[in-house]
Amino acid sequence: MSHPYEDELRVGLAVVRSAARICQVVQSAITPEVLDKKDNSPVTVADFASQAVICHGLSQSFPADPIIAEEDSMALHQEENEGFLREIHALINAHYQTATQNEICDWIDRGGSKEFAPRQWTLDPIDGTKGFLRKEQYAISLALIIDGQLKVGILGCPNLGTTNDSGDSLYYAVAGVGAFATQLNESAEVRQIHVTKTTDSTAARFCESYESGHSSHNESAQIASQLGITASPVRIDSQAKYALVAGGEADIYLRLPAKTGYFEKIWDHAGGVLIVQEAGGTVSDLQGKPLDFSKGRELRENRGVIVTNGALHATILAAAQAVTAASQAGG
């Protein structure tokens, strides 16, 4: 089906596939090298290499488009991290194209946009780095945002294809066109995906963040109990949870506030949100409002994220509001 974003989708899929190949090489290593960022979260050579490849590919095709991405090259210029940069350089030259270390740092910093722009991309080169380090789930998330509206969303989930029912590892959506799943192999079959039609909350399957620091597991458990959900939650890292809901392998994804004053970053949600919505699902915050991607790097107008198959949304939202309100009242 033709649409106005054919070029953006084609380029986006190509660069995500290229980045995924590098991530797979790094994850297969026994102990990938890690740096600790200022917030104590880990970053690997794959995070930097993935961002470099994607930002470079986007810039080649859309040089005027700003990119809001998670990483920057500042730490790579420090003397103690010279070996880290050399490894990134070797990865890109072996699996993407020849470039100097300075060029690679420039590619990474192409993702340094801070403010909202009428047309922009947002990128998480590896969403779920801790899952990546455990050799479990992670996602490469890319989205095109125009006038604050999601237009193209792509999730590369290299490990999901080994564990989900369909074997799919690449998910994408275009606004008004639909959501689709395929494999990282360019010649693989593409299929349109849809959320489940589950209306009975007791039969619902839900997933949440693996890390309790990302989402309140206690409140999620209370919501599940209130709704009569007896199945244990599927806890996996990254926006792979959005892919599970969009593909009909889960009905609910809850990301409930775990830190006072914390705002979600747009790169942690943009790609997945559009895929779920185009698959027929619903995404809102705890107030029932759509996520607002017009405030720059953060979702400053939203608190919490509720993702469902749509049919269950009102029920899940009401339960989540009741549980979080009671938790706040209890101090």
- Residue 191: C-alpha distances to residues 173, 178, 195, 257 (Å): 11, 10, 13, 34
Q: Are 47 and 126 in contact (CB under 8 A)?
A: yes
- 78-81, Cβ contacts within 8 angstroms, sequence gap of 24 or more: 81/35
Same domain, residue pair 52 and 172:
yes
Tokens of 193: 């995906």
How far, in Å, CA of 14 to CA of 238, rounded?
21
In a domain, 1, yes or no: no
- Mind listing the pLDDT tens digit for each residue in 145-163? 999 999 999 999 999 988 7
Q: Is 129 a catalytic residue?
A: yes
Give the predicted TM-score (pTM) of the model: 0.95
- Residue 26: C-alpha distances to residues 17, 91, 240 (Å): 15, 9, 19
Q: Is 198 a catalytic residue?
A: no
In a domain, 167, yes or no: yes
For 259, half-sphere exposure in the C-beta direction (CA atoms, 13 angstrom radius) is 8
In a domain, 144, yes or no: yes
Q: pLDDT 10s per residue in the chain (331 long)?
A: 689 999 999 999 999 999 999 999 999 986 777 888 777 788 999 999 999 999 999 999 999 999 999 999 999 999 999 999 999 999 999 999 999 999 999 999 999 999 999 999 999 999 999 999 999 999 999 999 999 999 999 999 999 988 777 788 999 999 999 999 999 999 999 999 999 999 999 999 999 877 645 456 788 889 999 999 988 888 899 999 999 999 999 999 999 887 788 899 999 999 999 999 999 999 999 999 999 999 999 999 999 999 999 999 999 999 999 998 887 776 5
Same domain, residue pair 117 and 35:
yes
Same domain, residue pair 173 and 213:
no
Same domain, residue pair 175 and 221:
no
Same domain, residue pair 225 and 150:
no
Same domain, residue pair 259 and 302:
yes
What is the domain extent for residue 88?
6-192
Q: Which residue among 146, 161, 192 closes a domain?
A: 192
- Residue 133: C-alpha distances to residues 23, 127, 147 (Å): 11, 11, 36
- Mind listing the pLDDT tens digit for each residue in 128-142? 999 999 999 999 999
Same domain, residue pair 123 and 242:
no
Tokens of 67: 């990119």
Q: Which residue among 192, 211, 236 closes a domain?
A: 192
- Of 166, 242, 234, the closest CA to residue 206 belongs to 234
Catalytic residue among 44, 122, 129, 324: 129
Same domain, residue pair 103 and 74:
yes
CATH number at residue 241: 3.40.190.80
For residue 328, give the 3-state DSSP assignment. Answer: helix
In a domain, 40, yes or no: yes
Same domain, residue pair 154 and 205:
no
CATH number at residue 184: 3.30.540.10
Query: Cβ atoms within 10 A of the Cβ of 2, count?
Result: 5
Catalytic residue among 44, 47, 127, 168: 47
What is the secondary structure of 243-302 as a DSSP string? HHHHTTS-SEEEE---STT---BGGGTHHHHHHHHHTT-EEE-TTSPPP---STTB-TT-
Q: Which residue among 169, 192, 215 closes a domain?
A: 192
Distance from the Cα of residue 143 to its chain's centroid: 9
Residue 207: Cβ-neighbour burial (10 angstroms; 0-12, 13-18, 19+): buried
* Total domains present in the chain: 2
> To which residue do tokens 């790609």 refer?
271
Same domain, residue pair 173 and 277:
no
Same domain, residue pair 181 and 248:
no
In a domain, 299, yes or no: yes
In a domain, 223, yes or no: yes
In a domain, 310, yes or no: yes
In a domain, 114, yes or no: yes
Same domain, residue pair 258 and 304:
yes
